[in-house]
Amino acid sequence: MDTKPDRNIIQVRQSVTRANDRTADKLRKDFHDRGIWVLNLVSSPGAGKTSLIERTLEAFKSSCSILVIEGDPHTRLDSDRINAMGVRGIQINTRGGCHLDARMIGQVLEKTDLDTTDMIIIENVGNLLCPAAWDLGQNHTVVVASLTEGEDKPLKYPEAFIRSQALVVNKIDLKPYLPKSSENLSGNALQVNPSLTVFNVSCTTGTGLADWFQWVCTCSGQTRE
């Protein structure tokens, strides 16, 4: 005789990011209603996100109003760089957290005048793993990778590349000093996500940035002077 008590098994399949996604959807609607284009940049530390933002600001700041949100565990170093360019920069310090979330974005924007804002650029915490899963209400996500990181990053951290619409391969000016295998970075990324738009750039020399700027123009609806 089976004396085991009856057991009810309840399967709970609720995304851990569900609450975040609701907040992100509200942000996205607000951005749409205000006519603001929002870009989320993700990368590992040192790939060159801030340098790419600086070059982008140089190209667009005279023709549209841009707000930059900087995510880092500590310091105001990146937002100070943005403010030094005459552009609004807001720092979010996660105090050890590995990514930004929609709640953080919403909280800082509650205190920010967005009436004249045309574009918001979010620089996420330097990390190719955690930021990929957290929607911030953005229109587009771009992953930045440098040749110096090695060609295997898209294969080791596919989620960041799968969830992005474009890949910026930075530091191509260092190509002569790197193993030939570094050239496989773009190919591996396209293997993971064949729909990626790829830009090969050097934020130091300016090589390839014109194509990047054109993509920003097309996606944001903004123009350059």
What does the pLDDT read at residue 5? 53
Q: What is the rounded distance in angstroms from the CA atom of residue 109 to the CA atom of residue 202?
A: 32
pLDDT at 9: 60
Q: How far apart are CA 127 and CA 205, in angstroms?
A: 25
Q: Which residues pair with 123 in a beta bridge?
A: 41, 70
Low-confidence ranges of the chain (pLDDT < 50): 13
* 160 belongs to a structural domain: yes
Residue 91 lies in a domain: yes
Element (H, E) at 142: strand 140-146
- Structural domain contains residue 2: no
- Residue 168 falls within a domain, yes or no? yes
Q: What is the pLDDT of residue 6?
A: 57
Is 12 a domain residue? no
Residue 180 lies in a domain: yes
pTM of the complete model: 0.92
Find all residues with CB under 8 Å of 133, minimum gap 6, and list them.
17, 99, 159, 163
CATH code of 204's domain = 3.40.50.300
Please give the pLDDT value at position 15. Answer: 73
In a domain, 9, yes or no: no
Determine the structural domain holding residue 140 and report its residue range: 18-216
Q: Is residue 224 part of a domain?
A: no
Q: Which two tokens stand for residue 2?
A: 């089976």
Tally of domains within the chain: 1
Exposed/middle/buried for residue 86 (C-beta within 10 Å: 0-12, 13-18, 19+): exposed
Is residue 81 within 8 A of residue 60, CB to CB? The reply is no
Would strands 37-43 and 119-123 be described as parallel, antiparallel, or unpaired? parallel
CA distance 70 to 78: 7
